Amino acid sequence: MYRKGDPHGVKQQIGRFGAGITDPRIRELNDWADTEIARLAREVSREPTESLQNRRRRKIFLSVGIGAAAILSALLVWFFKSSGGPSALALSSSEIVFHIEAGATETVSQTIQLQGGSAGQAWSSSATSEWLSAAPPGGTALASIVVSVNPAHLEPGSHSGTLVFTGRDTPSKSSLNVRVIVDRKREQRKKIEITQAPPGGKRQTTAVKPPPADAKPRVEQTPPAPQPVIPVVTTPIAPSPGEQPKTLPPVVDCHAASYRGVSDGDLKWIGGSLDPNGVLVLRVPNETVAGGRVSGRPLPGCDVDIKIDINEVEIVEKPSLENHFRLIKLRNKSAGPISNIELHWHVK
């Protein structure tokens, strides 16, 4: 039994000899059996505690793994949404203004750009007023949008409307405020023709402006004796000479090694009023023309390409050698006034 490592069997055999055994070898076997039995009992009592601790460790490791997987999944979802998802819509301008004369029936338009949003993102538009519309009313970003106003039923005064652009894939919205100022018609005073017969018998006609509405009546005094009728002759007043040509800076070689200027820039005219068929001359920034302020980068003095942001304006005179490449003339070809113009120039 000793050789087999069975302490219980050894203990059972020693018990058969009785309690009065004095043989040292048997006592040694008895002591060995007691020691082994005690050791086995300690191992058996310790095993459930270790198993419980191992199970707790496994549960802790499993919980940590599940939490890490959930965090990683959330981070991946956020990354894909932020990188590949559609972005918010944005417009090139938040407000545009139309100046229209009362009685006009022709639709007037301005163009804006839908700059925000991802390429191919679907959008739609809606208007708060019947006289306001957008073309196209919907589509995909990025896009050029023509904002139109029908003034046929608008009374003189100020009118406001809003175009709302909504993304179909995201809840983003962008609004454009549209203001329409309908001006009253300017009354033209009628001319009164007075025909007088001079002594020579030759009739002469003189155009006389009517008196103001608030003018006091004149009291005619009877002359002491009749006087011959003297013909009223008016001499036309020559128109005042126009603005003398300004001294223009010299022409610049924009491709020379010594040129230190820029190769492109923007020139803006803001806050003015350019009537239909009116001509606007833009020269240098910080200049007031037709009630509007000119800002941006001046023309460099060499041959440039010009690009205008709206279709209602055409170029009458481009920068050329005759004007030292320092000015540009624009004409309003639309049916209504224009208050803002922006152009971009680039050195050829």
pLDDT at 232: 37
Tell me the CATH architecture of domain 95-183: Sandwich (2.60)
More confident site: 171 or 230:
171
Sketch the domain layout of the chain as residue ranges. 7-84, 95-183, 264-347
**Whole-model pTM above 0.75?**
no
**How far is residue 173's CA from residue 166's CA, in Å, rounded to a whole number?**
5
Provide long-range contacts, Cβ within 8 A and 24+ apart, for 201-205.
204/231, 204/232, 204/233
Please tell me what DSSP assigns to residue 153: G
If DSSP states are collapsed to H, E and C, what string results for 54-86?
HHHHHHHHHHHHHHHHHHHHHHHHHHHHHHHCC
pLDDT at 214: 56
Question: Which pLDDT tens digit goes with each residue over 223-250?
Answer: 555 555 444 333 333 444 444 455 778 9
CB 299 within 8 A of CB 328: yes
